[in-house]
Amino acid sequence: MEGKIVTERLNAFFGEVHAVKNVNMAIPANAITAIIGPSGCGKSTLIRCVNRMHEVVRGAKATGKVYLDGEDIYDPETDPVEVRRKVGMVFQKPNPFPTMTIYDNAVAGLRLNGEKDWSKLDGAAEDSLRLAALWDEVKDNLGASGVSISGGQQQRLCIARALAVQPEVLLLDEPCSALDPIATAKIEDLLFDLKDRYTIAIVTHNMQQAARIADFTAFMYLGELIEFGETKRLFENPEEELTEKYITGRFG
Amino acid sequence: MSPRKAYMTELAELDELVSLMANKTSEAIELAVRSFERLDMQFVDKVERLDKELYDLNIDIEKRCLEIIALQSPVAKDLRAIGTYLKVITDFDRIGRYAKDIAEVTAHSVERSHFKPLVSIPHMANMAEEMVDLSVKAFLERDIAPTKQVFELEDKVDSLYDEIFREVITYMMEDSKKIGAGMNYTLVARYLERIGDHACNISERVIYMVTGERVVKE
């Protein structure tokens, strides 16, 4: 399998609970891949395995392989912090650091990595806020609190924060579920613009969102990857009966 | 996740309406052909009524399809079904219009009997009717098996049309009094040939609806 990220026989557990079962999947570079499926199907756990966030939960473990550009990120030699720098993540609820300004939020990751040069920080703040399509809205107000802006702006600030450390992959876990349709459309437009530079994987409950923005879609059910393919094909003529039932709303 | 009750009900109602339209189309062509064969006026009104009903159904179904697309975002087999409905209702409507045209030829025919025993036209009519019936059957049963026969009949109907055309021209050249009736025969043959084409379209659409594959009859 070829892909920016490739999982091989990936299993994830929370204690005794087997949340992700033997998933083999290749996430292509410079494209948006959506992961859909009902609540509890393991889609968030799957992407959290891709940047080694899964293991930070007490009792959680993962087995199998996850390759980033052909290198196994679970290799004992691999530094999880370096993996997380390359693979950024944005969560469901916008979570800017509440005590920090917009500026400080944008460059928080860089500072954590020890960057102290103001001109570099200034450049990174502007670049990442521009990439996140937020610059024009906040450029005169960079000293305001990160939580003083709207929910949609906060979410784009979180995307800027993730982009500031120059990742290669951007993982988004339900990034629009707390946003209104206009803020959602802005995030979707942004992801569309970003996909030329990054590999993007988005977990979403919203099938129309997957259909609108994703080049590839993965459907998961009860921890298993049921079907993976081009979004257009999957939504027009799915191969698996289960996928058909889920996307047409015939799950009872 | 609970099943989408309102959506399922709307889809079921829509399917019933398209099925009703399919059945009315079969009825219209059968009555039109019978009326022409016998130059019998008693079915003409009924065919005209059916044509009007088909037109109204076409409008109603289109409206419902667009509403479902706008409000329910159908995907997968639902989307293919709705895309198919939107296409086949035009075919059903056109077939109904040709049935009406055939009935009108009967109604306006000066002659009250055919100048020769009709052989090829009833044969062609039977085949066109069968094509419509098979396409309707494939559609109603979501079964692509009958479509193979539809495509085979299409070739036969086309050849028969050429044959009838040549034959009728010969009669008209021999006797100018036969030109009026001869023109009617070529018109009816042309309508039947077009009905066959629409039946083929329906079959192609049914294949797409059922399998997701796009097939175009050469």
* Summary mean pLDDT of chain B: 92
CB–CB of A249 and B76 under 8 A?
no
**What is the tally of structural domains in chain A?**
1
Query: Taking CA atoms, what residue in B is nearest to A251?
Result: B3
User: Which chain A positions have a beta carbon within 8 Å of B7's beta carbon?
Assistant: 249
Structural domain includes residue B216: no
Q: Judge whether B76 is closer than 8 Å to chain A, CB to CB.
A: yes
Q: Nearest CB to A247: which of B75, B80, B212?
A: B75
Structural domain includes residue A112: no
CB–CB of B3 and A38 under 8 A?
no
Structural domain includes residue A200: yes
**What is the tally of structural domains in chain B?**
1
- Regions in chain A scoring below 50 on pLDDT: 252
- pLDDT, position A83: 92
> Band of the pLDDT at B112, cuts 50, 70, 90?
confident
Q: Give the HSE-up count for residue A217: Cα atoms under 13 Å, Cβ half-sphere.
A: 26
- pLDDT, position B1: 43
Query: Which of A57, A79, A53, A67 shows the shortest CA–CA distance to A10?
Result: A67
B192 lies in which domain range? 5-211
> Beta A71-72 vs A87-90: how paired, if at all?
unpaired
Structural domain includes residue B144: yes
| Plot region of B39 (φ>0 → left; ψ -120 to 50 → alpha; else → beta) | left
CB–CB of B73 and A208 under 8 A?
yes
Structural domain includes residue A157: no
A48 lies in which domain range? 5-93+169-247
Q: What is the pLDDT of residues B145-175, one digit of tens each?
A: 999 999 999 999 999 999 999 999 999 999 9
- pLDDT, position B217: 77
Q: What is the pLDDT of residues B121-152, one digit of tens each?
A: 889 999 999 999 999 999 989 999 999 999 99
Where are the extended beta strands (E) located within chain A?
Answer: 5-14, 17-27, 32-36, 60-68, 71-72, 87-90, 169-173, 199-203, 216-221, 224-230
CB–CB of B4 and A249 under 8 A?
yes
The three-state (H, E, C) secondary structure of chain B, written as one string: CCCCHHHHHHHHHHHHHHHHHHHHHHHHHHHHHHHHHHCCHHHHHHHHHHHHHHHHHHHHHHHHHHHHHHHHCCCHHHHHHHHHHHHHHHHHHHHHHHHHHHHHHHHHCCCCCCCCCCCHHHHHHHHHHHHHHHHHHHHHHCCCHHHHHHHHHHHHHHHHHHHHHHHHHHHHHHCHHHHHHHHHHHHHHHHHHHHHHHHHHHHHHHHHHHHCCCCCCC
Q: Nearest CB to A236: which of B2, B4, B79?
A: B79
- Give the residue-averaged pLDDT of B69-82: 92
CATH, residue B22: 1.20.58.220
Phi and psi, residue B116, nearest 5°: -150, 155
Structural domain includes residue B217: no
> Band of the pLDDT at B108, cuts 50, 70, 90?
confident
CATH, residue A193: 3.40.50.300
Structural domain includes residue A162: no
ipTM rounded to 2 decimals? 0.73
% of chain B exceeding 90 in pLDDT: 77
Structural domain includes residue A118: no
- pLDDT, position A34: 97
Three-state DSSP at A151 gives helix
- pLDDT, position B67: 94
Q: Judge whether B80 is closer than 8 Å to chain A, CB to CB.
A: yes
- Give the residue-averaged pLDDT of B44-56: 95
- pLDDT, position B113: 77
Q: Judge whether B82 is closer than 8 Å to chain A, CB to CB.
A: no
The three-state (H, E, C) secondary structure of A99-137, written as one string: CCEHHHHHCHHHHHCCCCCHHHHHHHHHHHHHHCCCHHH
Structural domain includes residue A23: yes
Q: Which amino acid is at A130?
A: R
User: Which of the residues B2, B75, B84, B210 would you substitute to probe the A interface, choosing the one with the greatest number of A C-beta atoms within 10 Å?
Assistant: B75
Q: Judge whether B4 is closer than 8 Å to chain A, CB to CB.
A: yes
pLDDT at position B82 over 60 = yes
Structural domain includes residue A196: yes
Structural domain includes residue A49: yes
